[in-house]
A and B are shown apart, each in its own frame.
Chain A
């Protein structure tokens, strides 16, 4: 087995390069000259099997900025465990130097300054270069897409994900699993999946009527690589019909179904698999629990919660590899499979520094072709930002503060609610805000901005309910998003309390008065899971608001008082 130290050496090449450079050496020259593509890709090929994992791309074809969270609270057994360690504490844990490339890629803190130095991350043309380089080392490497691929951008919305479908096919994955894809509606998902030249996996995707497996989504696929047999079992997001609108895909049922997962592991082992890989959209803490409950899984490639860790987590003899989001990272996982078992592993989380990695010309041309019909309308400048606009964080992000402000003023509401999703690129101070940027944080198939009345008592129910989906101490009851964002409403949350007792001190910010349980409040929000929700599209609401502002400045949000963490 590889020691933790080896992991750090192979996994943290980026930080080792500038490991002693200290804070401040982040000029663009440093990024472009001191950091090279060869160094980012450097990897001593190991064992006999390679996996390549990318997940949660959310439609991001082009390089973007993406700030990792500074608030990511763990509860129960995961209190204080990765990925619930952020910022400087995260860097200390992994020995990452302040100001280093790994600081910028993996943790929050000084983001705007570092972004100016290191530039954008991601871009599927750069990802293609990395995949090709790994395949040059190991031609039969298995490329696995963890889902949340066909969603999240202007062109993905306009083409109903044809753009992502076409570009991903050019990367030649071997299998994928699913989450937001289903919000295209079951007809479109079926249409795309039937054309996929690779496996669409989900042991937990069941027919809702009969509660039995589907033909369209087989549970696993066997691969013969490196003189051995590897089984890849798919695990789609378990709580799609709850976190997303069930009415859009009523034919399907999901759930964790760990009994069925255990049965599938037994089935593939009996069929000769010497290595069992789960391609998962569970979220990291759910994967950890699943690894402790289901015996016989060697590797879980973990998606959904958008965590990026420089080394895998180990639960028993299962390694869990989370590979970030938005095209920012690719994981390479080399395995030594012998005598019917995994004897060792070597992993590297490769950050896709877009200024360092040369774009693959064919994929770059394909991306530009997909974008060309929409380029004029989506690159239109709507305004500018003086503030860092980001989303990640358990309680609020400045993008969501801006969206809530837009809802309050454009929809003339007292309180705004915005969903706690984790996707959406970051903008740095001084950047133009284009229509594409607004879609990057709002694009979805149920984006109507509703306006309604809710009583104070019901608002508390909503907050308590969402809070329990994040802070229930049992990961199997967590859905993996963040807290619903509020505008015009302040509150206190004690994350250590049970459901019904976490939320207190709810305050209407406009007047400073406590929320009255019996009074009705005018509430504007978006992304309702209810069928028949009416209102303008959220991106139109936000665009209109930004146009009126011209230049956006977002103040720090101190309206959520967090205790018990």
Chain B
């Protein structure tokens, strides 16, 4: 069989060549810019927001991400290694019973997923998680 590089990459969940050869957060600055734009440069607190993501993606094309920030009016997700880091913004009204959301996102490569919550008092909270995208191999 002709196992093409394209096939390996496709099944190996994303453009890992980029990941492996250039290392982490190639586009970190893009995310930083976007976060600054969102927060106006305000300080970012931690601890009131929880981000749940797999350590290693089973499929880089659809990675389950869950975020929970009681008291948030808005939560924005960024993927700092994607060509366009902004992923989604969730807005919560005063009647929202819980301030949490789960979705699936595509990750081009091993990278950090960053969540920024805008709280009811106007302050901001940040959480991030590194998600590895790999071609895998054989364990055990």
Contact A480-B139, Cβ < 8 Å, known A241-B58, A242-B134, A461-B21: yes
CB under 8 Å from chain B, chain A span 446-499: 450-455, 457-458, 460-462, 464-466, 468-469, 472, 476-477, 479-481, 484, 498-499
Asked if B11 and A480 sit within 8 Å, CB to CB, the answer is no
Chain B residues within 8 Å of A534, by CB: 1
Among B19, B23, B136, B139: residue with most chain A CB under 10 A: B139
Which of B17, B21, B136 contacts A529, CB < 8 Å? B136
Contact A246-B5, Cβ < 8 Å, known A56-B140, A527-B138: no
Residue of B with least CB distance to A455: B5
Contact A420-B138, Cβ < 8 Å, known A452-B2, A499-B23: yes
Chain A residues within 8 Å of B134, by CB: 242, 465, 468-469
CB under 8 Å from chain A, chain B span 58-115: 58-59, 64, 102, 110
Chain A residues within 8 Å of B64, by CB: 211, 253
| CB of B29 closer than 8 Å to a CB of A | no
| CB of B8 closer than 8 Å to a CB of A | yes
Asked if B140 and A306 sit within 8 Å, CB to CB, the answer is yes
| CB of A433 closer than 8 Å to a CB of B | no
Asked if B11 and A255 sit within 8 Å, CB to CB, the answer is no
| CB of A419 closer than 8 Å to a CB of B | yes
| CB of B36 closer than 8 Å to a CB of A | no
Can you offer 10 A-B residue contacts whose CB atoms are under 8 A?
A: A211-B102, A239-B56, A239-B136, A255-B54, A450-B1, A452-B1, A476-B55, A484-B137, A498-B23, A499-B23
| Chain A residues packing against B (C-beta within 8 Å) | 56, 148, 179-180, 208, 211, 237-239, 241-244, 246, 253-256, 259, 281, 283, 304-306, 419-423, 450-455, 457-458, 460-462, 464-466, 468-469, 472, 476-477, 479-481, 484, 498-501, 527-535
Measured CB to CB, the closest approach of chain B to A354, in angstroms, equals 24
Given contact pairs A305-B140, A468-B134, A481-B138, a sample of 9 additional A-B residue pairs in the complex whose CB atoms are under 8 Å apart: A246-B59, A255-B58, A256-B55, A423-B140, A451-B1, A466-B137, A472-B132, A477-B56, A481-B139
| CB of B20 closer than 8 Å to a CB of A | yes
Residue of B with least CB distance to A454: B5
**A255 to B53 Cα, complex, angstroms:** 10
| CB of B3 closer than 8 Å to a CB of A | yes
Contact A458-B3, Cβ < 8 Å, known A255-B54, A469-B134, A477-B132: no
Asked if B1 and A535 sit within 8 Å, CB to CB, the answer is yes
Chain B residues within 8 Å of A530, by CB: 3, 7-8, 11
**A500 to B136 Cα, complex, angstroms:** 15
**A31 to B54 Cα, complex, angstroms:** 49
| CB of B52 closer than 8 Å to a CB of A | yes
Residue of A with least CB distance to B2: A452
Among A259, A304, A500: residue with most chain B CB under 10 A: A500
Asked if B137 and A420 sit within 8 Å, CB to CB, the answer is yes
Asked if A304 and B139 sit within 8 Å, CB to CB, the answer is yes
Asked if B140 and A477 sit within 8 Å, CB to CB, the answer is no
**A468 to B23 Cα, complex, angstroms:** 12
CB under 8 Å from chain A, chain B span 7-25: 7-8, 11, 16-17, 19-23
| CB of B48 closer than 8 Å to a CB of A | no
Asked if A239 and B139 sit within 8 Å, CB to CB, the answer is yes
| CB of B135 closer than 8 Å to a CB of A | yes
Residue of A with least CB distance to B104: A211
Chain A residues within 8 Å of B140, by CB: 56, 148, 179-180, 237, 243, 281, 283, 304-306, 421-423, 480-481
Chain A residues within 8 Å of B2, by CB: 452-453
Chain B residues within 8 Å of A532, by CB: 1
Chain B residues within 8 Å of A306, by CB: 140
Chain A residues within 8 Å of B55, by CB: 238, 255-256, 476-477
Contact A458-B137, Cβ < 8 Å, known A255-B58, A499-B20, A500-B22: no
Measured CB to CB, the closest approach of chain B to A178, in angstroms, equals 11
Chain A residues within 8 Å of B52, by CB: 259
Chain A residues within 8 Å of B56, by CB: 239, 242, 255, 477, 479
**A484 to B136 Cα, complex, angstroms:** 11
Residue of B with least CB distance to A523: B3
Chain B residues within 8 Å of A305, by CB: 140
**A246 to B102 Cα, complex, angstroms:** 23
**A452 to B1 Cα, complex, angstroms:** 7
Measured CB to CB, the closest approach of chain A to B131, in angstroms, equals 10
Chain B residues within 8 Å of A498, by CB: 23
Chain B residues within 8 Å of A481, by CB: 137-140
Asked if A500 and B23 sit within 8 Å, CB to CB, the answer is yes
For the complex of A and B, list the 10 residue pairs with the smallest distance between their C-beta atoms, beginning with the closest.
A419-B138, A452-B3, A534-B1, A481-B139, A242-B136, A243-B139, A241-B58, A479-B139, A480-B139, A476-B55
Asked if A254 and B58 sit within 8 Å, CB to CB, the answer is yes
**A462 to B17 Cα, complex, angstroms:** 9
Among B54, B102, B137: residue with most chain A CB under 10 A: B137
Residue of B with least CB distance to A253: B58
Residue of A with least CB distance to B21: A500
Contact A479-B136, Cβ < 8 Å, known A241-B58, A458-B5, A458-B17: yes
**A534 to B7 Cα, complex, angstroms:** 13
**A498 to B3 Cα, complex, angstroms:** 28
**A528 to B57 Cα, complex, angstroms:** 18
Contact with A along B12-46 (1 / 0, CB 8 A): 00001101111100000000000000000000000
Residue of A with least CB distance to B7: A530
**A423 to B139 Cα, complex, angstroms:** 10
Measured CB to CB, the closest approach of chain A to B48, in angstroms, equals 17
